C-alpha cells in the first residue's frame, strides 16, 4: 500500500487530504483497513436499521461493538493494522447475524450490506481500494461532504458512548442512532436536504449521549469541585495518565495506592482532579505537561511510565516506546497493551516498571492551576452570576474551547483570551484550554474569570450552563451575552458542532481552519442558516462580538 486518502482532521496535508501517509502517523495500510471497516459498519447500519424499522431490537453487545469499532477509526486512537483485522472479522460476523434476521432485499441492498470480507489482510487491502472516501469519482461532492460529516460525527459520538458504557451507562436511543446514521451514509436515495436533516437529528441524539456521559461520570465519581492542581514535578516514581478514560485512572489509582508512586494526569485527563472519588487518592498529585500534540517532547525524558487510555496517541519516540502502554481501543504497533480480563485491568507491568525507573530525583517549586467548574459548581452560584450580569459587572461570556493542535494559527485562541476585557468571563473545555489555562485572569463579580469546565467530553456542562442562563434571563440562548469561539481538530468536535446547530445556536466562531470535507455549498448553507463564522483576527472578532 502506497496511497491513501483521509481528510477527517484539521491538520490534513495541505488542508486538502493526506494521500501518502497521515499527518497523524497513520500509514496507508491502516488507513485502508479503516476505510474497509467503515464500509462494513455501513452494512451493519443497513441491516440494523431494517430490524429497528420492523419493530425489532438490537443487543447491547452489538451496540458496544459498533461504538467501539467506529471510535477506533477516530484520529489518533488506533494505528495497529492487526487490531483492525480483528475488528473487520468481528464486523463481518455481526453483519451476517443481523442479515439473518431480515427479509430478502431482492437485490436492493447497498454495496456495504452485500460485501463479503475475504480471509487475508492482503485481500482486505485490495478490496479497500474500492471503498475509500474518493473511490466513487462520480459522487456529487456535496453529497460526499454531508456523508463524511455524518460519519465523522458518528465517530465522535462513538467515543462518548464508549466512555459512558465502560461505566455501565447506556441508552437505547443513542445506540439505535448509530444504525440510522451509518445506513444513511450508504443510502443513494438521500439528497442534500435529507442528509442535513439526518445531521440535525444526529445532533439531538448526541446531546442525549453527552447527557448520558455526564450522568456516568458524575454518578460514578461525584460532581466536580473547584480544585487546585499541582503543575510542577514531585520527587519520586511517576506514572503519567493521558487520554480521557476516568475508569482506567481509577483502577490505576487503586492498584498503586501505598506503593510510593506519584500519579500525574496529562492532556484531557486534567479535569479528573475535580472529581471527589478520584481526588481522594493522595497520590494523584498533579498534572504533567500540556496538550496532546506536545506529548513526544514531554514524554521524551520522563523517568517514568505513560498510560494512554483513549485518544490522543502520537507516534512514540524510540526513547520512550518501551515505557508507554496502551489500553482499551487505543493501539500502536509494538507498544505494550493492557486488556481487561473479567472486567478488570491488571496494571502490574506498568507499576513495576515505574518503580524500577525511580522517577524524578528532585522536585520543583510548587505551582497550581484550578479546575473543577462543572455545571453543578457553576450553577450552584447561578444567582451570583445573574446578579453580576444585571449589575453590569459581567458584560459577556466567552466559551473558548475545543481541540488543540500544532498549527501556528492556533495562537489566535491564546491572543483572543488575553484580549478579552476584564468585565468578561471565559468558560473553557477540551485541550484547547492549554493555550491559556496557566495564565492569571483574575476575578470578576466575585468569580474567577477563567472557569475550566472539563474535558471535551464535558461539553454537556457548557450546554447546561447556557440553557440555565437563558432560562434565568427568560430569553433564548442566542440572546444571551454569550459567544462560542471553538477550535476543532478531530471528529468529536465535529459532533459537538452538529449538536450546537441542532439546538439552534447561532453566531459560532470556528477555526483555525475550515474542514476540508465541507464543500463551499455546504458551508454556505451553514452560514446562511446558523451564521457560522470562520475566525479572522482576535481584535476584529472581539470588536464584532462586543458591539453586536
Following DSSP, what letter does each residue of 55-93 receive, concatenated?
Answer: T----HHHHHHHHHHHHHTSTTTB--HHHHHHHHHHHHH
> Would you say residue 23 has pLDDT above 90?
yes
Do 166 and 231 share a domain, yes or no? no
pLDDT of 106 > 80? The answer is: no
Last residue of some domain: 357, 386, 409?
357
Domains of the chain: total: 3
**Does a structural domain hold residue 6?**
no
In our burial notation (b when 16+ CB lie closer than 10 A, e otherwise), range 120-138 reads ebeebbebbeebbbeeeee
- Residue that terminates a domain, selected from 357, 390, 421: 357
Report the SS3 class of residue 97.
helix
Phi, psi (degrees; rounded to nearest 5) at 240: -105, 130
The pLDDT confidence band at residue 388, using thresholds 50, 70 and 90, is: very high
In percent, how much of the chain has pLDDT > 70?
A: 99
Q: With contact defined as beta carbons under 8 Å apart, do 31 and 86 qualify?
A: no
* Mean pLDDT, rounded, for 189-198: 97
- Domain assignment of residue 133, yes or no: yes
Q: Which CATH number fits the domain that encloses residue 446?
A: 3.40.50.2030
Single out the residue of 325, 293, 284, 298 nearest to residue 312, CA to CA: 293
Residue-wise pLDDT for 315-364, tens only, equals 999 999 999 999 999 999 999 999 999 889 999 999 999 999 999 999 99
Q: Exposed e or buried b for every residue in 169-183, given b needs 16+ CB within 10 A? A: bbbeebbbbbbbbbb
* 454 within domain boundaries: yes
Q: Please write the tens of the pLDDT for every residue from 398-409.
A: 999 999 998 888
- E-assigned strands of 368-493? 368-371, 396-402, 424-429, 443-444, 447-448, 450-454, 482-487
352 and 379 both lie in a single domain: no
Within its chain, how far is the Cα of 487 from the centroid? 12
Whether residues 163 and 278 fall in one domain: no
Q: What is the pLDDT of residue 440?
A: 94
- Beta strand segments in 193-351, E: 227-230, 238-242, 262-265, 284-287, 305-308, 324-327, 336-338, 340-341, 344-345
* pLDDT of the residue at 307: 98
Range of the domain at 124: 13-198
Where helices occur in 322-434 by DSSP H, the ranges are 348-357, 375-379, 382-390, 411-419
Q: Is the pLDDT score of 1 beyond 50?
A: no
CATH of the domain at 173: 1.20.1270.20
pTM above 0.85, yes or no: yes
Answer yes or no: do 437 and 469 share one domain: yes
Residue 257 pLDDT > 70, yes or no? yes
Question: What proportion of the chain, given as a percentage, has pLDDT over 90?
Answer: 95
Is residue 340 domain-resident?
A: yes
CA distances to 186, 226, 371, 459 from 464, in Å: 34, 18, 18, 9
The string of pLDDT tens digits covering residues 262-278 is 999 999 999 999 999 99
The pLDDT of residue 107: 82
One domain, residues 248 and 157: no
Question: For 417-455, what is each residue's pLDDT tens digit?
Answer: 999 999 999 999 999 999 999 999 999 988 899 999 999
Which grid cell sits at 114?
452485500
Q: For 196, how many CA atoms within 13 A lie in the half-sphere containing its CB?
A: 14
Can you tell me the distance from the alpha carbon of 252 to that of 346, in angstroms, rounded to the nearest whole number?
Answer: 9
307 and 389 share a domain?
Answer: no
Mean pLDDT within 225-252: 97
Within-domain flag for 154:
yes
Do residue 45 and residue 148 come from a single domain?
A: yes
What pLDDT, on the 0 to 100 scale, is given for residue 2? 52
Let me know whether 136 and 272 are in one domain. Answer: no
Amino acid at each position: 500500500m502506497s496511497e491513501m486518502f483521509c481528510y477527517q482532521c484539521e491538520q490534513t496535508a495541505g488542508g486538502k487530504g493526506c494521500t501518502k501517509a497521515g499527518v497523524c502517523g497513520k500509514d496507508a495500510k491502516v488507513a485502508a483497513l479503516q476505510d474497509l471497516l467503515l464500509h462494513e459498519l455501513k452494512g451493519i447500519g443497513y441491516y440494523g436499521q431494517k430490524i429497528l424499522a420492523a419493530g425489532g431490537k438490537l443487543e447491547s453487545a452489538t451496540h458496544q461493538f459498533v461504538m467501539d469499532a467506529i471510535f477506533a477509526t477516530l484520529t489518533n486512537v488506533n494505528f495497529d493494522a492487526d487490531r483492525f483485522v480483528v475488528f473487520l472479522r468481528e464486523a463481518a460476523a455481526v453483519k451476517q447475524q443481523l442479515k439473518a434476521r431480515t427479509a430478502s432485499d431482492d437485490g436492493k441492498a447497498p454495496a456495504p450490506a452485500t460485501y463479503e470480507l475475504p480471509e487475508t489482510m492482503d485481500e482486505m487491502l485490495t478490496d479497500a481500494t474500492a471503498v475509500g472516501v474518493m473511490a466513487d469519482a462520480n459522487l456529487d461532492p456535496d453529497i460526499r461532504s454531508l456523508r463524511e460529516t455524518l460519519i465523522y460525527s458518528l465517530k465522535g459520538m462513538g467515543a462518548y458512548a464508549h466512555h459512558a458504557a465502560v461505566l455501565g451507562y447506556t441508552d437505547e436511543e443513542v445506540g439505535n442512532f448509530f444504525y440510522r446514521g451509518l445506513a444513511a451514509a450508504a443510502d443513494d436515495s438521500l439528497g442534500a436536504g435529507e442528509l442535513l436533516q439526518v445531521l440535525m437529528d444526529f445532533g439531538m441524539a448526541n446531546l442525549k449521549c453527552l447527557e448520558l456521559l455526564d450522568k456516568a461520570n458524575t454518578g460514578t465519581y461525584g460532581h466536580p469541585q473547584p480544585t487546585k492542581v499541582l503543575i510542577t514535578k514531585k520527587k519520586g516514581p511517576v506514572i503519567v495518565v493521558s487520554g480521557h478514560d476516568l475508569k482506567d485512572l481509577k483502577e490505576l489509582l487503586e492498584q498503586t495506592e501505598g506503593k510510593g508512586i506519584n500519579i500525574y494526569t496529562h492532556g484531557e485527563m486534567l479535569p479528573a482532579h475535580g472529581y471527589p472519588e478520584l481526588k481522594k487518592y493522595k497520590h494523584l498529585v498533579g498534572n504533567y505537561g500540556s496538550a496532546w500534540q506536545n506529548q513526544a517532547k514531554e514524554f521524551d525524558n520522563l523517568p517514568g511510565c505513560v498510560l494512554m487510555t483513549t485518544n490522543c496517541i502520537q507516534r512514540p519516540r524510540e526513547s520512550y516506546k518501551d515505557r508507554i502502554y496502551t489500553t482499551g481501543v487505543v493501539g500502536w504497533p509494538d507498544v505494550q497493551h493492557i486488556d481487561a480480563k473479567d472486567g478488570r485491568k491488571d496494571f502490574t507491568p506498568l507499576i513495576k516498571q515505574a518503580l524500577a525507573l525511580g522517577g524524578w530525583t528532585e522536585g520543583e517549586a510548587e505551582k497550581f492551576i484550578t479546575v473543577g467548574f462543572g455545571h453543578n459548581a457553576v450553577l450552584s452560584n447561578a444567582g451570583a452570576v445573574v446578579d453580576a450580569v444585571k449589575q453590569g459587572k459581567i458584560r459577556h461570556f466567552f466559551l473558548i474551547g475545543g481541540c488543540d493542535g500544532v498549527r501556528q494559527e492556533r495562537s489566535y485562541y491564546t491572543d483572543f483570551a488575553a484580549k478579552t476585557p476584564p468585565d468578561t468571563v471565559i468558560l473553557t473545555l477540551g485541550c484547547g484550554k492549554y493555550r491559556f489555562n496557566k495564565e492569571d485572569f483574575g476575578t470578576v463579580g466575585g468569580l474567577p474569570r477563567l472557569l475550566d469546565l472539563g474535558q471535551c467530553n464535558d461539553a454537556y456542562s457548557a450546554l447546561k450552563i447556557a440553557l440555565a442562563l437563558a432560562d434565568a434571563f427568560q430569553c433564548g440562548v442566542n440572546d444571551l451575552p454569550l459567544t462560542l469561539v471553538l477550535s476543532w481538530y478531530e471528529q468529536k468536535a465535529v459532533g459537538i458542532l452538529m449538536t450546537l446547530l441542532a439546538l439552534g445556536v447561532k453566531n459560532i466562531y470556528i477555526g483555525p481552519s475550515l474542514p476540508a470535507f465541507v464543500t463551499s455549498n455546504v458551508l454556505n448553507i451553514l452560514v446562511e442558516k446558523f451564521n457560522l463564522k470562520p475566525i479572522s483576527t482576535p481584535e476584529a472578532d472581539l470588536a464584532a462580538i462586543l458591539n453586536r
